[in-house]
Each structure stands twice: as C-alpha cells, then as structure tokens.
Amino acid sequence: MTQNNGNASSSGGSASSMCLTPGEERLTVAVRIRPSNESNEQKCVHVTSKKTLLFDDGSKTKPMKYVYDHVFGEDSSQEEVYVKTTAPLVKDVLSGLNAAAFAYGATGSGKTHTMLGPNPKKAATPQTDTAPKTALEQANDGLMVRAIAEIFEFVEKSDNSEAIRVSISYLEIYNELIRDLLQPGGPLELREDNRGARITVAGLSEVTTTQRHEVISLLLKGNKARTMEPTASNQTSSRSHALLSVTVTQSSALGTKQGRLFLTDLAGSERAKKTKNRGKRLQEGAHINRSLLALGNCINALSGGARYVNYRDSKLTRLLKEALSGHCRTVMIAHVAPENRHRDETKNTLVYANRANNITTRMQNPELLMEETREFPTTHYQNLVTELREEVNRLKTKMLTERPRSGAALKIDPNDEKRRTELRFLREQIVLTFKQQMKLRRRLLEAESHVMGLELDAERQHMIISHWQGRMGKLYDAQNDNDSESEGSTAIRSAWNELAAIEREMKRYKDIVLTTEQDLELCRQKGVALEDELPERISSDEERELLGLLCRVHELEADKVSLQAERLARQGELRRRDLQLLRAERQRRLCEDIISTQRRLIEEGKLELPPELKDMYALYQQEIHASTYTSGGGTGATPSTAASYDRKLPPIYKRHTPPSSSSGSDWSPTPLSAGRTADPVEADGPDGLMGPPVVGPKLPLISARTRALRENRSGDHQSTSSED
C-alpha cells in the first residue's frame, strides 16, 4: 500500500499483490470504524467499498485511499465482522490448525466491543450464564462468544462428540504482569523452551469442559476480573491486554489433531496529553504504550522481511510470537474512531494496519500436524504435568485456606506434645506419599517415552523390510523369504527378527506403564486421604506457614518433572524428524527412478519430449539446484546452459540397468538422535543406515503398477551401463 503524498492512491499491499512462497500465508488485515458518538462532528474517515476507505488528514491535499482485506463501516454488525474475520479461523482450528485474531486501536476505538460485545462492567443488566439472552444481546455478542458458540455447535453436531475436548485459558497482561483471568491470583511467569520456540505461561489454568454455557460463563467471569478503569477518553477503558486461548483436541482411530484459537483484545494506545491521565493511570498508559511499541517494532521488522525480529521487549510480543510469525493463520482487526478530533490516532492505526498487511506466517498442513500429534503425543506429557500441578494446588488450598470443620482442633492445646507428634507424623506421611508419586510419575514418563522409542524402532524395521522387498520386486508384507541366502533375504529376515524382539520389549514396557498407572492411582488416593485430615489438625498460623513452604517444595518438584517431560518431548521430536527425512529421501529416490525410466523410454522410442514433461524436468532441475545452493553443496552459480541443468537430471538407465537406488549402501545413514544405542540394525543393517523411526501403521502397500515396474526391472539387473 502506498500513500502517495497525500493523494488518493491505490494499494500496493493488498493480498493479491504479494508474492508468497508455498505454505506462506499473508496476515489478514481488517479495519473497523466505530460509530460516531457525535452526530454533528466532522469525520476524517469514509468507507468507499468493502475493502477501501478514504482518510482526510486535514490538509488541503486529496484524501488518502487505503486498501485492506476488509473494511467495516460504522453500521457494520458484530455478525458481519465475525463472518469475515473469525469464522474462517474457527474452521481452521477445527481442522487442526492454529489461528489468531487480535484487535488493535487507540483507546475508545471499539476493540473491546468487537471482541466481547458491550462492556460487561458497563452493561445495565449484567449478563449471567443462566439468564437467557435477548435478541439484541445476542446480536451484540463479540467475536469471542461467537467463536466459542460455533466450536460447540460443531462438537454437538459431531458423531464423535465425546472424543472432542475443548479447553480454554484466559489471561491479561497488566503493567507487564501476567494474571490468570479464570483463576485470579498472583502474577504468572512466562517460560520458553531452549530454542525460544515455544512460549508457555507457567501455572496458567486451562479449563476443559464439554458444556458450552460453562465456557461462556467462564469467559464472563474472566471479563469481570479484567482490569478496567475510567479514563478521560473512555469510561470503561481496558487497561490490560486480554488473551483468550481455545484449544480443540479431536481424537480418532487415526490419531489426535489439535487446533488452537488465540483471540486478543489489546489495550488501547493513548497519548498522555490527550487522556489527561495522572498517577496510576499514567503509569498504566506507559506500560500499554511500551508493549504496543514493541508490537509495532515486531510488525515493522516482519513486514520489512527482517531476518531477526525482537520479540523479547514485552510479554505481549513474546506471547503473540506464534500468531505473528509461527504456524498460524492470523487476522488483525484495526479499530479507528471516525471523528476529526481522533485524526492523529486514526492515521497512526491506518498506517500500522497497512504495515501489518505485509506480514506473512507459515501454515502447517493439518494432516502433518495430525500425524505429528499421533506420533509424538507431547500433549500426553503436558497432561501428566498438569495433573501434578493440580495436585499441588489442591494441597495448597487445603493447607492454607481450609479451616477445621468441627472446631475440634481449636480446643487442642498448641503445646500438647502428643498432638505435635501426630501432626509431624502426618506431615511426614504426606511428604512421603508425594515423593512416591513423583517417583511413579517419573517412571511413567520414562516408560512411555521408551515405548514411543520402540514404536519408532519398529517403524524403522518396517521401512527396512519394505526397502529390500521393493528392491527384490516383492510385495511389502510378504513374510520371510527363508529359502534365499541373498543379501536382501538375509536383511529382511534379520529385520523381522528384530521386529519380534522390539514387540516383546514393547509388551513388557506397556505392562510396566499399566502397573505404574495403577500404583500411581493408589498413591494419589492415599495422599488425598491424608490431606483430608489436615484442616482438622492444623491450629496455628505458624503450622500453616510451614506447610505452605512444603507446598513450595512440591511445586519445585513439579517444575523438575515438567522440564524432564520437555526434554523427553524434544528427544522424541528429533527422532521423528530423522525418520521423516529418511522417508523424504526415499520418496525422492523413487521419483528419480521414475524420471530415469521415463527418459529411457523416450530415448529408446525416439519420442519427442512432451512440453509438460519438459517443464517438469526444468522444475525438478531448479529444485535440485536450489537445494544444493542453499545447503552449500553447490557453487552458488546459476547454471547458464541447458547442459548444466541436464547434468542434474537423474541419469538414463539402459534397459539392463538397475535404477538409482541400486546400491544397497546408497541410503545414507541417518543417525538416531536418542534412544536405544546398541541397535543391531544400525550397526550392521542392510544399508548401514535406515536411521529413523516413525510410529504408526505399516507403510502402504505398493501399487500393482509399481510392482509390475519393479518386476520388469528385476529381470534387468545384470547390466550397469548408464548413459550419463
């Protein structure tokens, strides 16, 4: 988009004009104009179409034209905004993708109205979850309520509704401190993994429910807990950024897919002079502006294609990192006030939104996501850790807040030695049970991680079998070829043997998982029974404090387990990626075989190369060239002649030539990054290679056509001459 010295201009930044690489998504930008408060006041912004508006900067020059993905005028409805901006995101989330929408704009420009609807603190009749809504209230529902309603509609209509889990978390960032809006308490910390790729909020509650009304009432509760104060510009100004996250997890026989929707209502930018804020309000404003400035810097850097983007300047940008540059489809809804007196803020927002138009994110294939989750269920680890934290929280509440039910404890003399001994004993028992629980949880984590490693190993063996059987022209899954002493048959036999050993070990470990789970449950019940006795026994604040410290120790233990879970998750992820690489390599080689065979047929039949094929060859060569260039394997020089490209095409094999994967050792080894070290296949496997792993069903059977091709080939294995 250009502004053309204040003259009317056309957009240079609209969706269609950007060149996107595959998988890249442009951030969608919408602008909404709040209805004017004053009927007779002059306006600086005018909608000219569903995508364009004119902005009058007050000078004598012509108004500037801005183009966005969507422009919503003063009379736009909540429904319309939802349908154009957030409904498509909900669809993505339901198919297992991540998506985000955030409302941006100056204070009083209508962000909260769009995200939530009429301000809950201002509403004359505050909404409750029980009172049915009037048609007007429904029409005023903001994007958050609408998105949740649509997700639950999907769940309710699904044949498999019991396998769908919806959970929400809701937080605010107020004065650079993160607060849980669902369970308000002390400030929470941000955590990130070693690579800074995954950001989480430690201790943030995530509520899972199957009831639509429960979520809506949680949302209302969260909104009421949000920090809002009157300012000179807005009677109900949100003084914090609010981030709602809705996670939808769907399980099926094929695996689990998970999509997450982030909806953010940003606090409004403001000018201290204009708002006339003092003291606390002024300080809040400074925090708000600082974090929005950090967001602006990120948007500038991203839209300019910067290699390094600094997200670390504020908690807001760290939390929005995924939405701005990760695997996420993102919509920004910029809000402006139309009155002339808001001209400066309106201009700033329009320019800001304009820059955001150039930001791209990378979308991930939902199937891949699905497979990833199935193959490496990190959510499972997360659940274990969440359970553990819930345990600690429960204990904490019990010890610190619950008072004796019967008052019996009050009658006990605090100096009574017998009572003190009993209490000490009880405390020791609780600590002991907790330690046992930790031990069992660790064992469970390790055993499950080992099972996953074994599943990956099993998959690797399946790949070895498939590889050799393919080369021998056999159908995958045809069992042992006991008669032959060929290299392939020996390799296949050894892989089947290895597979049997893996399956035995897998069974053993699955049993361990089962018994550990049972022990854990018993231990947990014992802990609960002991904790139940506590309020009866504790009489002094001193004892309560001591037990509070005990909780803290437990919390630290829980943190340790959480780190261990993250480490295991990372290891598994690395191994899984290794296998994916190997698979991709295998598919590439198959493609080379196909090209080679095609070239031979064309050559031998003296056929003219069809134009589409020519194009595809050229594309293939470019790809190969690009990959050698980026991996540093090439000289970096662009091939200047057709001949130099030609050298990169797979060679033409003559009739009696085995295709490219002919040598048993040309599958380069892909080392396992973790897991079983003394792996016979890794050491002496048929290819010296076959690194990786992948859990899951067996590889697909080869098609009859491919088989015929292979059979053809296997008859021709003698000669090795090749044209190139």
Ligand X SMILES: Nc1ncnc2c1ncn2[C@@H]1O[C@H](COP(=O)(O)OP(=O)(O)OP(=O)(O)O)[C@@H](O)[C@H]1O
Q: Which is nearer to ligand X, 335 or 460 (CB)?
A: 335
Span 310-329, contacts to ligand X by CB under 6 A? none
Cα dihedral sign for 687, 692, 698, 699?
A: negative
Q: Which is nearer to ligand X, 105 or 692 (CB)?
A: 105
Q: Which of 111, 355, 625, 710 binds ligand X (CB under 6 A)?
A: 111
Give the amino acid at 520: L
Q: Which is nearer to ligand X, 118 or 685 (CB)?
A: 118
Least distance (Å) between residue 185 CB and ligand X: 23
Structure tokens at 410: 């009050």
Write the DSSP string, 85-98. Answer: IIHHHHHHHHTT-E
Q: Which of 13, 96, 118, 255 binds ligand X (CB under 6 A)?
A: 118
Structure tokens at 257: 């897919």
Burial class (CB in 10 A: 0-12, 13-18, 19+), 205: buried
107 contacts ligand X (rule: CB under 6 A): yes
Least distance (Å) between residue 184 CB and ligand X: 19
Least distance (Å) between residue 106 CB and ligand X: 7
110 contacts ligand X (rule: CB under 6 A): yes
Q: How far apart are CA 171 and CA 203, in angstroms?
A: 11
Least distance (Å) between residue 101 CB and ligand X: 15
Q: Which is nearer to ligand X, 235 or 515 (CB)?
A: 235
Q: How far apart are CA 366 and CA 260, in angstroms?
A: 12
Residue where the block lists tokens 């047929």: 601
What is the distance between the terminal CA atoms of the chain, rounded to a whole angstrom? 51
Q: Which is nearer to ligand X, 265 or 555 (CB)?
A: 265
Write the DSSP string, 337-353. Answer: --BGGGHHHHHHHHHHH
705 sits in which H/E element: helix 704-714
108 contacts ligand X (rule: CB under 6 A): yes
Residue where the block lists tokens 């274990």: 384
Q: How far apart are CA 234 and CA 119, in angstroms?
A: 11
113 contacts ligand X (rule: CB under 6 A): yes
Stretch that binds ligand X, among 230-238, 431-439, 554-562, 712-720 (CB under 6 A): 230-238
Q: Which of 3, 28, 34, 345 binds ligand X (CB under 6 A)?
A: 34
Stretch that binds ligand X, among 104-112, 311-319, 373-381, 474-482 (CB under 6 A): 104-112
Pattern 329-368, ligand X, x by CB under 6 A: ------x---------------------------------
Cα dihedral sign for 486, 489, 492, 496?
A: negative
Nearest to 370, CA basis, from 261, 455, 260, 258: 258
- Of all residues in the shown chain, the one whose CB is closest to ligand X is 268
Stretch that binds ligand X, among 107-115, 250-258, 378-386, 497-505 (CB under 6 A): 107-115
The answer to whether 81 and 72 are in contact (CB under 8 A) is: yes
Q: How far apart are CA 484 and CA 492, in angstroms?
A: 11
Least distance (Å) between residue 214 CB and ligand X: 25
112 contacts ligand X (rule: CB under 6 A): yes
* All residues at 6 or more sequence positions from 645 whose CB lies less than 8 Å from its CB, including other chains: 618, 621, 625, 639
The answer to whether 269 and 196 are in contact (CB under 8 A) is: no
Q: How far apart are CA 57 and CA 43, in angstroms?
A: 10
Q: Which of 35, 230, 414, 548 binds ligand X (CB under 6 A)?
A: 35
Q: Which is nearer to ligand X, 109 or 361 (CB)?
A: 109
Pattern 516-555, ligand X, x by CB under 6 A: ----------------------------------------
Least distance (Å) between residue 334 CB and ligand X: 11
109 contacts ligand X (rule: CB under 6 A): yes
Residue numbers of the site for ligand X (CB under 6 A)? 34-35, 105, 107-113, 118-119, 234, 236-238, 267-268, 335
